[in-house]
Structures are given as structure tokens and as C-alpha cells.
């Protein structure tokens, strides 16, 4: 293998030289430098032969220290529990390339104890454009390659430093990735392309150093919490939870005294091997490798070898180090989709060899979950049981507060006190307007046959939305706008059209539950992917005079004159695709509409306030064209695990709340518990 140093000057080409050292040097998979600190020992470094970052950058990815524009506010707080802060990496591998191979080739390395382990060859290149390419001369030697640092847009400096707020940094990195993925998918659908948008989005994030926890570590990862869910392996890679894009075992090569053995740091149990996952606290994990030795003869099988990840797990058994475990579940919305759940820290207690169903020998590892950790996969086991048998849910006061109006029953649950239910209201699924709908201006209808198709220039509904349909084929909203136009009753397309997402009603298993200090709240038994439609805010459209009549007794008022900073940044990252930055006016325009769900409403009336919300509201028009009185639809801001409370940001701080709210209503004390809590909401 030849080293490819990173040049600090773009016009200088460095000759590639073979690595020569008295001690072996190992590449960190996918460009990650690694460090490991023994119990009480001095830190040892595994140096990557690909080179580190420029010394001028202090060893940290440049975006962690980019100055924040003076005319922009800092990012909104993130939801969730506070995380332990761990020093960030002292080096990073700057590359425009990402390994997309399912089974990379490996070279052999012999450790000081005589065992053989394999390490990846030079990573294959994933091209973002034709400018990033490598050529070979007739002699077969590779030309030296200049790795140019990408120029990041100033707006990307708004991603907070992981040193200051690890949770917020990780969430905004994932939010930026998913915004890129959705936009790339929208463009691909319009061009009738089938490229994998998540891989392209991940490559762009990597090439711009938009990732966290670059240094591998044993134990917890700052900014990642037990129960967090991921829909793509590249998401786990971007936040440093699991660096292997395809491999199930991630490991590091620490240098501890005279020992030079790999240690496992995380594993993914994704159903590819014969694992036993029946117990929520015990995992029997199958090693990697083995299986069919030839794609032409399925009867030829080979045994697994004690190398790479298998060796790392075996060494971790003797070292007793903690291993992060990511379990998985079937994504019911996709045929072959899986959802990855971070289940916390485990220790390997036992290992053995047994015969697999194919007849080859495989390694088995028995891992036990560390005690006193928040629930991870156990939450999923419970919700799946409840959906299969709703009567098994304990603490139920009412099996369906919607009385059958919604697509799925809405349970009312209290496991906290003796409160028997919320105050009386009429459950409804449609907003009651001051004026009848038929007196409002109608929307123009499209002439699409059956369904609206992306890229159809003749679709009037697409043109109203800026030339593109606002939803992906799977129903996720692509980006927030000041208003979205859905197909209406005058359109020729059917009810199955992708541009009728919010008109199809609620498709989640909701639960109204009793909180400990904030009354009733709302959560779902289902995992909710970022961009998913959740529900509409249903109630009565009222005027300011009636709001004053309600006074302090009305806790169910929605006003469309405020949007939080995190929602404004939900479309973050168009600059990475060469598109202009999104103006705030494109995302939000204050609305005069006021909706009260005091007497009439739906599940949205139980959604509590948070200064670090996981839901945002989006104006949608589909049955009239009165822009000041749209439907208020809620969408998921990020991936939301089952039983996590659904919240949105009600309003501003105490000064702005008094200014914006009509009448004498005073701001209320906030009990959201967020690290970024403002203390009050309107």
C-alpha cells in the first residue's frame, strides 16, 4: 500500500512513498483516525497512513470552528437527555471519497502475538463529479493524487460545535444529511433516475467534513442516546456510532504496552446472520465471514476465521471492554427496509464455535446488557406486542378517544396518577372555519391522469409548488415552505396521488398519555421517520376577540405568527448541491389564523410545547385558496422512536410573547426540560 498524504497547498504534488516504521501502522476504516486510552494508561494512537488534517486547523474538522455569521442566530436546542462530553478527535482524514463496497478486499497483517488480522486496502473511490477521478499509466503505477479540501458554504457554520453541544451537533448533522437525501431523491425522481440518494448524500457530507465523533472510542458516543433510531447505516457513520458502512463489527487497533490486538467497539445485528435476539438484555451474536465459498456452487461452504471483527470480539471478551450494540427491526413501510436502534452498552461474557445451518463452523458471542441503562429495544418489543394485542397495554383509561373516527384507535393512558381523563371536548378531524369553504376562492386543478408524476411540466399543482411535487414517492415532505399546495377536488388525479398526503388522514398508532408535570401529552407506538406527516391541528378558527374572552383558561390556542430556529434550518444544505441558500421568507410567512381546540379538536390538542421540538408545523392548501387560512399540518422534524413524546415550539421568549399575543394572555412557565429551555412560552 502506498501513502497518499494530504497536501496543505493545492498546487503542490507530493510523491507517494512506502510506509516505513519500526511499529506497524494501521488505517482506520473509512478514513477515521483512532485513539484509545487504557484504564489509567497513557493514550495510544493508531496512525492512519492516509494522513491527518492540516496543522492550521488545530486537528479538528474545519466546520467545528467556522465563524458564525453575525446576522444569524444560533441553532435551536435539540431534544433529549444531556450527553457526557468527550474530547473530540485530534485529527481527521479529509477525503472526497467514501467506500461503497459491500465486501472490501483486505490485506494481511500479523500482530505481535502471531495472529493474523486483515485490514482494508485503499478505499475505492465514490465520485461526486468528474473532477474527482484517478488515472493509471501504462506501467500500472498510480499517479499521485491531490486531495483538495472542499470549500464549505458560510451557512454550514451554523452546525454547532460538538465540543459545546454534542447532542445538538449530532442532530443537526443528521438533519442536514436527510435534507440532502430528500432533495437528491426529489431531483432523481424528476429525472427518472434510480441512483441511491442516501449514498450520494453521505458522500457529500463526508467530503465537507460534516460529521461528528471522528475519533473512534470505546463506550458511549457524545450526542447519541440509547433508543436513537437510524434508517441508513451511513447515518450511524456520520455521528460516530458505527463507522462500518456495510460491516457488522466495528473495531479499533489500540496500542497497549506490548499488545497490538483489535478491540471491538460496536456491532450491528441486522438479521444477516443467525443471531438470537429474543431476550432484550442478552444477545447471541454470530461472527462475520464464512458461508458459500463460490457463487456458482452453493454447497461449498467455508468456516469463519478468527480474524478482523471476529478476533476483535474475542479479544474484547478477555479485555472486558464495553461494546455498543445496535439492533434492528423491520421497516414496515419498505419491502426490504430496516430500522437500526441503538440499544446501549454490552459486555461479551462467552464465546464458542458451532455448526451453522449451512454446515460451516461459525463463532458465537454471548453479550449481556449493562444494567441501569434506559430502555432501547425493549420499547420496540412492547409496542409491537400492543399493536398485535391492544388489550395487553396496561394503564388504559379509554381504548379510543376518537370513537372510531381515526384510521387507528387513539388510546388514553395514565400510569402516573389517578386522573381519569382530560376535560370534555368534541373529537373532530376537520377544521371549523369562520366562513364556509364553498365561499372561499377555489384552487386550480391539474389534468394529470391517475396520479401526478415528478418532472411533469404540465402539472399545475407541481408548478404551484415551485416546479416540483412537495412529497417523495414514499410520502415524506421534501422541504418546508411558507405554504404547500396539494391536489384538490378539481384535479383529475385519483385519491392515490402522492400529492394528497395530508388528506389521507392519520396513519399512526397514537397514545394520549399522562405526563408527570405537564398534564396530558401525545406519543406514538410507531417509529416516525423525518418528514413523515403526523396530524393536522384541528379546532375552531377564532378571532382575537374570542381569544380574549377565553383568557388564561384556554391552553389550546394555535397561532401562526412564530416559527422556531430549528424549523427554519430544516432545509439546511442546498449549498452543498450548488443551489442558492434558502431565504427565511421562502420558509415562513406569519399568518393571521388563530385556531382553538378547546371545545373541538383532535390528537394535536395534546401536543405539548418544547424548546427543543421534534415536530414542526407546515401550512397546506387543498380545499380552498385563502392563503391566510391554510390547514396547519404537523411533520416530523427528525427520526422519532416509539413512545417518545411529540412536541412543537409554541412561541417566543417572555418579551416577544407579550408583544405577539393578543389581549392579556401572559407567558407561561416552561417545563420541557430541554438543556436549551427558554424558561417561558406564550
Instruction: Assess contact for 597 and 556: CB atoms under 8 A.
Output: yes
**Do the Cβ atoms of 596 and 547 come closer than 8 Å?**
yes
* Ranges in the chain, pLDDT < 50: 1-150, 154-155, 157-158, 653-664
Query: Containing H/E element for 128?
Result: none
* DSSP result, 446-465: P--SSS--TT-TT-HHHHHT
- Report DSSP state, residue 627: T
Cβ atoms of 416 and 515 within 8 Å: the answer is yes
Share of the chain above pLDDT 90, in %: 53
Strand partners, 615: 636
The whole-model pTM stands at: 0.77
Q: Please report the pLDDT score of residue 599 as a whole number.
A: 93
Looking at residue 575, its pLDDT comes to 82
pLDDT, residue 292, reads: 64
Adjacency order of strands within the sheet including 520-524: 396-398, 411-413, 510-514, 520-524
Residue 311 near residue 348, CB atoms below 8 Å: no
Cα distance between residue 405 and residue 411, in whole Å: 13
pLDDT confidence of residue 198:
93
What torsion, rounded to 10 degrees, do the Cα atoms 126, 130, 131, 137 define? 80
Domains of the chain: 29-130+151-381 (2.30.280.10), 389-436+502-681 (2.170.270.10)
Q: Determine the pLDDT at residue 520.
A: 97
CA–CA separation, 616 and 210 (whole Å)? 24
pLDDT of residue 639: 98
pLDDT at 615: 97
pLDDT at 326: 98
Distance CA 484, CA 471 (A): 10
Q: Quote the CA–CA distance of 607 and 615 in Å, as a whole number.
A: 10
HSE, CB side, 13 Å, CA atoms: give it for residue 650: 28
Burial per residue of 101-112, b for 16 or more beta-carbon CB atoms within 10 angstroms, e otherwise: eeebeeeebebe
- What is the reported pLDDT for 680? 82
Q: Say what the pLDDT of residue 552 is.
A: 52
Nearest to 175 by CA among 585, 580, 573, 582: 573
* pLDDT, position 441: 83
Cα distances (Å, whole numbers) of residue 176 to 171, 319, 409, 497: 9, 38, 34, 28
| Distances 315 to 118, 224, 349 between C-alpha atoms, Å | 15, 25, 11
Amino acid at each position: 500500500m502506498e501513502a497518499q498524504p494530504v497536501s496543505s497547498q493545492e498546487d503542490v504534488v507530493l510523491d507517494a512513498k512506502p510506509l516505513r516504521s519500526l511499529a506497524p501502522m494501521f488505517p482506520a476504516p473509512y478514513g477515521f483516525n483512532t485513539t484509545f486510552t487504557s484504564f489509567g494508561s497513557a493514550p495510544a494512537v493508531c496512525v492512519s497512513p492516509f494522513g491527518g488534517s492540516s496543522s492550521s486547523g488545530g486537528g479538528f474538522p474545519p466546520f467545528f470552528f467556522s465563524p458564525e455569521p453575525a446576522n444569524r442566530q444560533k441553532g435551536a436546542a435539540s431534544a433529549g437527555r444531556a450527553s457526557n462530553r468527550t474530547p473530540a478527535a485530534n485529527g481527521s482524514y479529509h477525503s472526497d471519497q467514501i467506500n461503497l463496497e459491500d465486501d472490501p478486499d483486505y490485506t494481511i497483517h500479523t500482530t505481535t502475538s502471531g495472529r493474523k488480522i486483515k485490514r482494508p486496502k485503499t478505499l475505492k473511490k465514490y465520485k461526486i463529479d468528474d473532477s474527482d477521478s484517478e488515472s493509471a499509466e501504462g506501467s500500472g503505477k498510480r499517479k499521485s493524487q491531490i486531495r483538495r479540501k472542499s470549500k464549505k458554504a458560510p451557512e454550514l457554520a451554523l452546525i454547532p460545535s460538538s465540543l459545546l453541544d454534542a447532542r445538538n451537533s449530532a442532530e443537526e448533522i443528521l438533519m442536514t444529511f436527510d435534507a440532502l437525501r430528500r432533495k437528491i431523491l426529489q431531483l432523481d425522481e424528476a429525472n427518472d433516475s434510480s441512483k441511491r440518494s442516501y449514498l450520494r448524500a453521505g458522500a457529500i457530507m463526508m467530503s465537507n467534513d460534516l460529521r461528528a465523533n471522528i475519533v473512534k472510542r470505546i463506550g458511549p458516543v457524545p450526542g447519541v442516546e440509547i433508543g436513537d433510531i437510524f434508517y441508513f447505516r451511513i447515518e450511524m457513520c456520520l455521528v460516530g456510532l458505527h463507522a462500518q458502512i456495510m460491516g457488522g463489527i466495528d473495531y479499533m487497533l489500540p496500542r497497549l504496552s506490548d499488545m497490538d490486538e483489535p478491540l471491538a467497539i460496536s456491532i450491528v445485528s441486522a438479521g444477516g446472520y443467525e443471531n438470537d435476539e429474543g431476550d432484550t438484555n442478552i444477545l447471541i451474536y454470530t461472527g462475520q465471514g464464512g458461508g458459500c465459498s463460490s457463487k456458482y456452487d452453493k454447497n461449498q461452504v467455508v468456516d469463519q476465521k478468527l480474524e478482523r471483527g471476529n478476533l476483535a470480539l474475542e479479544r474484547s471478551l478477555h479485555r472486558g471492554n464495553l461494546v455498543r450494540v445496535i439492533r434492528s427491526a423491520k421497516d414496515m413501510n419498505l419491502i426490504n427496509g430496516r430500522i437500526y436502534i441503538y440499544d446501549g452498552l454490552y459486555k461479551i461474557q462467552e464465546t464458542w464455535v458451532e455448526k451453522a445451518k449451512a454446515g460451516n463452523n461459525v463463532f458465537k458471542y454471548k453479550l449481556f446488557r449493562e444494567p441501569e441503562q434506559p430502555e432501547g429495544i425493549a420499547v420496540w418489543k412492547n409496542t409491537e406486542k400492543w399493536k398485535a394485542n391492544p388489550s395487553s397495554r396496561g394503564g388504559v383509561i379509554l381504548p379510543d378517544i376518537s370513537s372510531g373516527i381515526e384510521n387507528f384507535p387513539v388510546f388514553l393512558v395514565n400510569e402516573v396518577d389517578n386522573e381519569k381523563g382530560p376535560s370534555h371536548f368534541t373529537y373532530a378531524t376537520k377544521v371549523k372555519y369562520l366562513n364556509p369553504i364553498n365561499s372561499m376562492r377555489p384552487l386550480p386543478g391539474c389534468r394529470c391522469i391517475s396520479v401526478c408524476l415528478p418532472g411533469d411540466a404540465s402539472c399545475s399543482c407541481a408548478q404551484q409548488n415551485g416546479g416540483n411535487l412537495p412529497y417523495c414517492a414514499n410520502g415524506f415532505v421534501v422541504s418546508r415552505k411558507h405554504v404547500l399546495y396539494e391536489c384538490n377536488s378539481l384535479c383529475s388525479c385519483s385519491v392515490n396521488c402522492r400529492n394528497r398526503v395530508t388528506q389521507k388522514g392519520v396513519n399512526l398508532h397514537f397514545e394520549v398519555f399522562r405526563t408527570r408535570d405537564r398534564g396530558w401529552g401525545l406519543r406514538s407506538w410507531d417509529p416516525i421517520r423525518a418528514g413523515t406527516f403526523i396530524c393536522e391541528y384541528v379546532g375552531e378558527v377564532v378571532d382575537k376577540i374570542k381569544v380574549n374572552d377565553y383568557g388564561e383558561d384556554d391552553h389550546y390556542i394555535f397561532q401562526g405568527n412564530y416559527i422556531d430556529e430549528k424549523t427554519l434550518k430544516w432545509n439546511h444544505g442546498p449549498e452543498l448541491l450548488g443551489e442558492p441558500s434558502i431565504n427565511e421568507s421562502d420558509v415562513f410567512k406569519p399568518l393571521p389564523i388563530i385556531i382553538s381546540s378547546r371545545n373541538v379538536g383532535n390528537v394535536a390538542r395534546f401536543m405539548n410545547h418544547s424548546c427543543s421540538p421534534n415536530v414542526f408545523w407546515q401550512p397546506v392548501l387543498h380545499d380552498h385558496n385563502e392563503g391566510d387560512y391554510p390547514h396547519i399540518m404537523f411533520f416530523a422534524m427528525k427520526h422519532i422512536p416509539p413512545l417518545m413524546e411529540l412536541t412543537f415550539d409554541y412561541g417566543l421568549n417572555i418579551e416577544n410573547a407579550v408583544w405577539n399575543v393578543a389581549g392579556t394572555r401572559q407567558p407561561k412557565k416552561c417545563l420541557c426540560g430541554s438543556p436549551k429551555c427558554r424558561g417561558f412560552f406564550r
